[in-house]
Structure 1
Amino acid sequence: MSLEQHEEHSNSSELLSSANGDGDFENRPFSSTSPPSTNGQPSSSFTTTTTTTAATATTTRATGGDDREDDDGLTPAKHAFARICLACRTGDFEAVDSLLSTPNLDINQVDEYDNSPLILSSLCGHIKIVELLLQRGAVCDRDTFEGARCVYGALTDEIRDLLVSFDISKAVDVNQPFAAHIASLLNSSAEKDILFKIQLEEPATHVSGDEKENKVLEPELEFEQELQQEYIGLHRFLLAARSPFFKRKLFSGDWKDKVVVTLPKSVTIEAFQVIVDYLYLRTSSMALTDKSIQKKVRDLAKEYQLQDLVEGLDEIAKAQSKKEQYKIKHNLAITFVEKARKDLDIFLAENILLTSVQVPLNFDQEVDFEDIDCLSYLSQKDRAHFLQQPSIPDVVLGIIDLATESVFYYPGNKSILARSEYFDTMFKVGFSASSAHEKKPPLYTEGLIKIVNRPAFEDEHLPFLQLSSSIATQEVANMVLSYLYHDDVKEMHLKHLIELLYTADELLLDRLKTMCAVRVSSYFSKLDYAEFQLLSDELDHDAYDLIRVAWQTRCDKLEQHVTKMIAHNLQYIFKDEHEKQRLASLIQDSAARIQERQDTDTIELVDDIRYYLTKKYAISQDNETFDPLSFGRDWHSENIKLYQSAVVKYERDIEIVDTMLESLNLDA
C-alpha cells in the first residue's frame, strides 16, 4: 500500500494492529490447524503478516440477549460482541474488560468464522485476555471441537497450559453479583418471613445400628433423635416471584396467614433442599444428578410449577454418561440464573412499578429540591395499600420527580435493596424508623429460630426510605430498581445517564456505574470529531464536563473513554479556540487534583492523552526512529513508510500537548 493510500484512512489505529515490544505487528491469520508451540514460543508455521486494515467487526450468530436493534440491525449485545472479537485479535485488554460488562452478552457465542473470543485470544497469544475471559465465564472443554481448537491452536505453551488446567467448573462466573446475592440470602436470617417444617424420614443422628445396640446414647443425642424434623426459613417475596404455586399460596391461599408451614410427609428434606437451591440460585450445590431423589425432586418441581427445573431433570435423566450429565448441569446453571432474572423482571414490572403511588406536591411557590420531605406526603392509607400488594413489601421507597412535581412511592423488599452496599450497611447497623408512627416489624420465635412475623404486619411496621437524593426523575428510579431486582437496565436513555451515574455512585453500585460507562463507550465508539461534538447534545455534558463527572463519581472507565476521544481529536480541538480553552481548563483542573504538586509531577490527564496517542498510531516506544535497520529483517519498505507516517502524526499531536502545557506554565 502506498503512503497516499494509507493517509486516506482517518484512524491509524485501524491501519496498524497493536505493536509488541519488538516492533512486530500482531494481526495474524487465524488457523485452527496451526500446531502448538513446543518451547513456549510462537510456532514457526504460524506466520506473521502485516495488513493494512484491522479486522472488521464480525457478525455474531447469537440470537439471544437484548432485542433492541439500531440502524444496522444489531443489538447492543451484538455490537459489544463484535468489538470484543476485534479486541481479542489486537490484544486490547482494557476494551475486553470494559465490554464484558455489557448486559445480556454471551461470551461463548461465535462469529461467522466459528471463532469465540476465547479462541481468538488464544490463537493470537494474548494470555492476559485468555485468563480474563476464563474468569468471566468463557468455557474451554477439550472434549468439544471448539475446545480442542482453542487448546491445540494456542500460540504459546503458557496459554495452552492455562486452558488445560482451568477446571470447567470455574467457567460459571462466581463473581456474578446478581446470582451471588440471591444465593447469599439463604445464609442470612434477616428478612426471612416464612418457616417450612419438614418431617425427617430418618433420625437426625448418624449413629450406626451396632452403636445403637451396644452404646447408651448421650442425653443431647436422644433429644436430637426425638426431634426428627427440620426447619427452613425463606423469603415470601422471592418464593412468589419464582413460582406461581407459591405466589398463589402466599398471597391468597391457605399460607397467607401462616408463619410456619408444615409440609406433607411425602416431601423429603433432600428433595425440598434441591427446590430451595434452585429458587436461591445455589446451582453449584443442586443434587440434580442424584438418582435416588430425582423422581421426588421432579414431582415437587412439577407441583410447584417450576417448568424449567422439570425439563432440566428430564434432560439429565436422558444423559448417557456422568460426563454428559455434568455438562448438562453446567448449562442448566446458566439457564436457571437467566430464568430467575426474567422472573424478577416480571415481578418488578407487575407488582412494584405498576402499584406505585403518585402524590402531587402542589407548590404555590418555588421550593428547593433538597428541602422537600418525601415522608411528610406518605399517608397511612398509602402504607395500608402497599401492605396488601403481591410484592409482599417490607419497606416503602420514595423519590421526587421534578418533571411532574410529584412524589412517587414504591413498595420494596429490603433483601433486594441490600444489593447496594449503601443500603446493606444501613440495614446491618440498624435501620431505625423514620417517624414516631413507625415500629419495628414483629418477630416469630420458636426455640433459637427468629423470623419476621408477616401475618402480624400492620402499616406502622412498613418503614419509609428515600431511594436516593440524586434521583430527580421517575425514569431514573425505575432504572435503579431494574438493576437491583434483575441486574439489567433495559432502556438506559442517554439523557438520564449522568443522573443515573450519580445515583449509582451514591448507592455504591460499581457495576451499574460500569454499565453507564459502557453505554457511553458503545454509543460513541467511532471516536471521530462528529461524535465528539455530539456528546453535548446527547448527554447535556461536553467531553470536558464528562471527565469532571467521572472524577466526581470515581468512574474510571468513563474517564478513560472520553480521554481517548480527546486524544483522537486533538487537531480539531487545537484549531477551535473555544475547545482549546476548555481543554486547557481541564488540564489545569487535573493538575490541581494532585495535592502539593511539584513542578515536575506528572498530570494524570496529560499522561492518559499521551498513552492513547501511542495506541492511536500504534507507536512502539522502542522504535521511534526512521532507521530501517531498527525494524528487523522482516520489514518491507512499504511497512517502514507506514510506520514513519504514523510517527510523524504522533509527534505532531504530542507537540500540541506540549504547547498547551507551556501556555499554562506546567511541566509534565
Structure 2
Amino acid sequence: MAERTVLRKDQLELSLHNEKKLIKEGTIKDDNPLDLSEPFRELCSACRRGDLKVCQEKITEGVNVNARDSYDYTPLILASLCGHYEVAQLLLESGALCERDTFQGERCLYNALNDRIRNLLLEYDYSKSTDPLQPLAAHIASLLTRQTPVTTDITVTAADQDVSLHKFILAARSPYFRGKLAAAPETTTWKLPSTTPPEAFSAAIRYLYLGEAPRELRSGPGTGFTESEVFAGIDKISKYLEIQSLMDNILDGGDRRRARQRRTVELAKGRAQLEEWFRENVLGNKVVVETSKANKVTWDHNNPVFADVLLRADELPEEDENSADEIPKSTLFPCHRAMLLRSEFFQAMFTSSFREAHVKDQLHIIDVDCSPDVLEIILTFLYTERADFPLEIAVDVLFAADMLFIEKLKSKAAVVISTLGSGGMSQAEAARTRGTQDEDDIDIYAIIRAAWLTRVQRLEEFAARFLAYRLEAHIDSPEFAELIQESAARIQARQETDSIELLDDIRFYLNERFRLRFDDAGLDELMDEQAPPANGDGTAQPEEMGKITEGVEAMNVSKPTSATIALNGNAQQPQGYTREIRTLDGALVEDEFDEDAMNYEILLEKLDALLESLNLDA
C-alpha cells in the first residue's frame, strides 16, 4: 500500500470545515482548544525560539501542549514550522498530537520546515503521541493476567466468576470499594450481586484496571443473556460500584476518534485517582526514624494502606561541619509489589528465591541506595507515570533509575538535564555564545561521566554539544584534558588509529556552531557575489584591477582608521567609532565573521595541541 501524501491546502480547509461541524454538533471534542493564557503564550514563544528550557518548564507546570493560540497555531506546529527538531521531539514525548486524520495534524505535517522534522512527526503513531499514560495503563491492566509473582490480596465474586484483584487499585478507582475496604481492611473476599452478567462484570473490572473498553459485548445464544440484559447489567454494576462513566466508555468505543478522546479522558482520570490515593496513603504514611532503628520498624501485612513491602532510603551524610552532631535519619515507604514490578530490578527480586519474594506476616524492609527525596520521585513515577523534579536532583534520579532498571525514568532524567541544563538558549543563540564559564548552570563534567556510566546516548550528545558551544571556557582547563583522556581510555585495547568519541562529537558540534553563524548570514553567497572575476591563474582582470587601483588612490590613507585608533591609546575616538573586535589570541579583526572564522581555527588548533600534549592521536 502506497504511503499517503500530505494533504493539499484545499483538502486541509475542507478537513477543518468538517471537523468544526462535528465539534459544534458535539460528536467529537476539540483536541486543540483556544488558550489565551500567559503561560501558554510563553510556551508558544519558546517554541518559536527553540528554547528547550522554557518549554520543559511550561510542560512541567501543566500547560496544555495541544492548545492553540489566537492564530490557530499549536506549540507543535510552531516548533515544526521554525525548524526546532529538539523542541518538536520534546512536545511529542509530552503528548502533543499529530494525528493524520485531523486538520491540525495534517497542518503540522504540511508546515514542517524539513523532512527530518516531518519524519519525526510521522514516527509518532497513535499510541505514542496521544497516550503518554499508556505504559502505566498497560502495566495495571496486565496485573489481571499476571501469574507470578502473586500480588493480589482480595477475591471478588460475581455469579460464578472469581477474580483475584488488588485492594489498593479497587480503593483508588471505586468509591464503593474505598468505603468498604476502609471499614474492613483485612477483608480477603467480596461478593457482588449474583444477577450480574459475566460480560458486564468483566467490563467493570477492565475499566477499574485502566483497560480499553470492549468493542463488542458477548451476548445472545450461548451466553444466557441478551444484549439488552448485558447493557442493563453494565448500567447496574456501574451504579453499584460508583463508576458512572463506565457506560459512556463502552458506548464511545464504536467511533475511533471518540474512543481515543474518551480513552485519553479516562486515563487522565484514572491517573489522578491513583495519584491522589498514592499521595494520601503511601507518601502520607511514610515513616521517618533514626537510621539505627530503621530495621526494627514492623508493619503487619493487614494494614490500612494494603502495603506488602517497605522500601527504605537513608539520608545522605552532609559535608557541612555543623551537621556532624545530627542523628542520621531513614525514611520507610509502605509500597505495593504490584506497582514495583514496573522496575526490572524489583521484578527480578520478587520472582526469585530471595527472602524478599516470600510473603510473611511482617513486611520485608528493602534498602534502596538513594536519598529519600530520590526514592519518592521514583515511587511517584512508578505509581503515576509523573516525573517532575528539579535539575539539581536530576543526576541522582538518573543513577537511581539506572540502578533499578527503569529505562523510561532514565530518559526523563536525561530530558530534564538536556533541557533545563541548556542555559535557556536555543541552538541559534548558543551558536553566538562567547563561551564564558559563568553561563554554566551545571557541572558538565559530572554530567558526561554520568552519561557514560548509565549509557544514555542523548545525554552524551547533549554534553558534547554543551562543551563545543562553550569550548573557550573549558579547553584550557585540566578537567577538560582529563575528560578527553577518560574518553580515550574507554576504548579497550585502543590503537593509534582509533578516534576518541567525545572529541569527534565536540568537533562535529563545533563545526555546527560556526556553520550556523555563516549560514544565517549568507556569508558564502556574499563573498561569491563580491569576488572579482579571475583569469586562469587566479589574478583579477586588468579592467577590474584598474578600478581597484583607482579606489585605492582615492582613499586618504593618512586618516586614522579604527584599527590605528585602537592601537593608539592617546588618540580620541571619532564620532561613529565602533568597538574593537579581537579573536581568542588577541588579534584585531574587522567584524564578527572574521572573528568567528579565526576562532574556529584557533579552537581546532588548541584541540590538536591538547592531543599532542596527552600523547593521543584522533
Q: Assess same fold via TM > 0.5.
A: yes
Distance 1:161 1:192, change over 3 A: same
Indicate yes or no: 2:154 matched with 1:194: yes
Sort the Cα spacing of 1:595 and 1:34 in 2 relative to 1 into closer, same or farther, 3 A. same
User: Aligned in 2, Cα 1:560/1:98: closer, same or farther, shift over 3 Å?
Assistant: farther
> AA paired with 1:499?
D
Among 478, 484, 499, the alignment partner of 1:581 is 478
Q: Is the 8 A contact 1:101 1:518 kept in 2?
A: no
CA deviations on 1:240-277 (whole Å, 9 max, x unpaired) are 12222112222314xx5543323213322222222222
- Deviation, structure 1 residue 103: 8.9
Alignment map for 1:517-528 (pairs within 5 Å): 517-525=414-422, 526=425
Partners of 1:137 and 1:171 within 8 A in 2: yes
Which of residues 266, 271, 278 in structure 2 aligns to 1:348?
278
Residue 485 (1) aligns with residue 388 (2): no
Deviation at 1:289, TM superposition (A): 13
Partner residue in 2 for 1:241: 172
Q: Read off the aligned partner of 1:195 and give its amino acid letter.
A: T
The equivalent position to 2:361 in structure 1, one of 453, 458, 470, is 458
Match of 1:571 in 2: 472
- Per-residue CA deviations over 1:303-355 (Å, capped at 9, x if unaligned) read 32335546x45xx86x8xx87x4322211211222222222222222112221
Alignment match, 1:591: 488
Shift of 1:392: 0.1
Residue of structure 2 equivalent to 1:378: 296
* Contact 2:291-2:330 at 8 Å conserved across structures: yes
Matched residue type, 1:348: F
RCO higher in 1 or 2 (8 Å CA, sep ≥ 6)?
Answer: 1
Specify the code of the residue in structure 2 equivalent to 1:416.
M
Q: Which residue, out of 369, 381, 394, partners 1:497?
A: 394
What corresponds to 1:429 in structure 2?
A: 352
Shift of residue 171 of structure 1? 5.3
Distance change in 2, residues 1:167/1:288 (3 Å): farther
1:8-87 to structure 2, matched below 5 A, reads 74=39
Aligned 1:313-328 pairs, distance under 5 A: 313=249, 325-328=255-258
Query: For residues 62-95 of structure 1, what are the alpha-carbon distances to aligned partners after superposition, in whole Å with 9 as ceiling and x for unaligned?
Result: 699xxxxxxxx759xx97776556569xxx9xx9
Cα displacement (A) at 1:158 = 12
Cα separation, 2, equivalents of 1:121 and 1:36: 23
- The answer to whether 1:272 aligns with 2:209 is no
| C-alpha contact 2:59 2:65 (8 A) present in aligned 1 | no
Instruction: State the match for 1:515 in structure 2.
Output: 412
Tell me, yes or no, if the aligned pair for 1:121 and 1:129 is still in contact at 8 Å.
yes
Match of 1:207 in 2: none
Q: Deviations over 1:174-216 (max 9, x none)?
A: 88432222222122032122222222xxxxxxxxxxxxxxxxx
CA shift for structure 1 position 587? 0.7
Q: Is the 8 A contact 1:524 1:531 kept in 2?
A: no
- Aligned-pair CA distance for 1:482: 1.2
Secondary structure, counterpart of 2:171 in structure 1: helix
Q: Alpha-carbon deviation of 1:400?
A: 1.4
Q: 554-563 or 347-356, which moves further after superposition? A: 554-563
Aligned partner of 2:450 in structure 1 is 549
Q: What TM-score do you get using the length of structure 2 for normalisation?
A: 0.68
Alpha carbons 2:140, 2:209 under 8 Å: kept: yes
**2-side partners of 1:287 and 1:393: how far apart?**
36
Deviation at 1:283, TM superposition (A): 2.2
Aligned length: 505
* Partners of 1:503 and 1:180 in 2: CA distance: 23
Question: CA separation of 1:551/1:663 partners in 2, compared to 1, >3 Å: closer, same or farther?
Answer: same
Equivalent position to 1:390, from 279, 304, 317: 304
Is 1:608 matched with 2:509? no
Question: Which structure 2 segments of 5+ residues have no match?
Answer: 1-6, 13-32, 220-226, 318-326, 531-590
**Aligned position for 1:211:** none
Taking a change above 3 Å as real, the CA distance of residues 388 and 627 of structure 1, as seen in their structure-2 partners, is closer
* Equivalent residues of 2:310, 2:364 under 8 A apart: yes
Q: How does 1:122-141 map to 2 (within 5 A)?
A: 138-140=96-98
Is the 2:308–2:336 Cα contact (8 Å) retained in structure 1? yes
CA offset digits 1:529-588 (Å, max 9, x no partner): 7895465xx66xx222222222222233333223222111112334xx5xx221111111
Letter in structure 1 aligned against 2:375: A
* CA pair 546-329 structure 1, distance change in 2 beyond 3 A: same
Matches of 1:159 and 1:566, distance apart in 2:
25
Distance 1:302 1:486, change over 3 A: same
Deviations 1:442-463 (A, max 9, x none): xxxxxxxxxxxxxxx733xx22
Query: 1:619: Cα distance to partner?
Result: 5.2
Q: Residue 351 of structure 1 contacts residue 389 of structure 1 at CA under 8 Å; is this kept in 2?
A: no
- The residue number in structure 2 matching 1:108 is 66
Instruction: Tell me: CA distance 1:173–1:567, structure 2 relative to 1, closer, same or farther (3 Å).
Output: same
Deviation at 1:589, TM superposition (A): 1.0
Counterpart AA for 1:430: S
Percent identity at matched positions?
33
- Whether the 8 Å contact between 2:133 and 2:385 is mirrored in structure 1 is no
Q: Is the 8 A contact 1:236 1:392 kept in 2?
A: yes
Question: For the structure 1 residues 358 and 151, does the alpha-carbon distance in structure 2 shift closer, same or farther, using more than 3 Å as the test?
Answer: closer
Matched, 1:662 2:612: yes
Partner of residue 189, structure 2: 260
- Counterpart AA for 2:331: F
Per mean C-alpha deviation after superposition, the further-off stretch among 416-425 and 244-253 is 244-253
The question of whether the paired residues in 2 share the 8 Å contact of 1:85 and 1:116 is answered with no
Amino acid at match of 1:487: E
Distance 1:309 1:346, change over 3 A: same
Q: Find the aligned partners of 1:161 and 1:558 in 2 and give their Cα distance.
A: 22
C-alpha contact (below 8 Å) 1:393/1:411 kept by paired residues: yes
1:336 aligns with 2:266: yes
CA distance 1:409–1:534, change in 2 (3 Å): farther
* CA distance 1:483–1:632, shift in 2 (3 Å): farther
Change (3 A) 1:550 1:233: same
Contact 1:281 1:337 in 2 (8 A): yes
Which one-letter code corresponds to 1:344 in the other structure? L
- Residue type matched to 2:458 in 1? K
